[in-house]
Structure formats: C-alpha cells, structure tokens
Amino acid sequence: MAPTLPRTIRAVDTEQLLDLEREAGAYGFSQRLPVDWLRDHLVPGATHYLFPALVHHLSHRPEVSPHWRCELLLTAPSGEQFLSLLDVLPATFSKLPETLDATFKTDIASRMERAPAQRAWAEAAGRLPKPIRKKCHEPETPDGDMS
C-alpha cells in the first residue's frame, strides 16, 4: 500500500534542496529543475518549502512509484519567491524534519498560492531566454537563423 500523502509543509535549506533535486535527476523524475540553474539563482542557506500536492504513479516504473509531486516555494537572492514542482520519494520526504508550526505553515501555503511560477519569474527577471519562434513554412539557414 502506498504511503498516505501528508498535508504538511517542510522547510529545507539550499543545500538540502540541491540534494533533493539531484535525487530527482538520478531517478529520472520529470518535475525538477537543473541543479546548476538553482545554484546560480538561489542564495546558499536560504529556506525553501515543500508541500506534497499529489501522488504520482508510474505503472511502467514501479521502482519509483508512487512518488509525491511537491509544490516548491523557492527564495531568490532578491527575496522574491516563486513556485516550482519537485518529484520526491515518500521515504525521502519522511526523513525531512518537521520544523514549522501551524501558523507559519498557513502563511507559507498562502505565499504558495500567490507566487509566480518559476518560468514566469525567470522570464520577467531576465533569467531565462525567451523562446525564439519560427514562422511555419519558412526555411532555416544552415546555422539555424531565419533569412
């Protein structure tokens, strides 16, 4: 039987977060951010928050199923907060200490509801290149530029 999805929020520092992201990468989970990007855009020692939002089942990968898809509230060097997703194994999440009181969890949940998504935050802050859109049916030059 799968572990019950906890209705709690856990705090992690940047190094713990990078470890969780590395683990997600090692398991090939789809909801994660590149560790190098996070290292470049988060302050070492900052606090970030994980909230298990849903149970994710992969019938074709029973060794990592189920796992929990967590909402992740990240804090940038500017103090801005933005939302991402991170897939975490239940056993890994269970090892994270419970350090927040109910009032603070309510505050974090409210911030999660208002926070922009990571992609929107990164684009607005100029930290993510905007995609280049080609017009349909126009040929590309060998170097990929439109002519």
Whole-model pTM: value is: 0.80
pLDDT at residue 30 greater than cutoff 60: yes
Query: Would you state the pLDDT for residue 128?
Result: 61
Q: Delimit the domains of the chain by residue range.
A: 10-102
pLDDT bin (cut points 50, 70, 90) of residue 1 is low
Burial class (CB in 10 A: 0-12, 13-18, 19+), 82: buried
DSSP bridge pairs for 71: 51, 85
Question: Is the predicted pLDDT of residue 25 greater than 70, yes or no?
Answer: yes
Predicted confidence (pLDDT) at residue 2 exceeds the cutoff of 50? yes
Token pair for 11: 């705090």
For 78, counting Cβ atoms within 10 Å of its Cβ (0-12 exposed, 13-18 middle, 19+ buried), the class is exposed
- The reported pLDDT for the residue numbered 63 is 74
Residue 57 has what pLDDT? 77
For 42-73, the pLDDT digits (tens) are 988 899 999 999 987 777 776 777 889 999 99
93-145: pLDDT as tens digits:
999 999 999 999 999 999 999 999 999 998 887 776 444 343 444 444 444 44
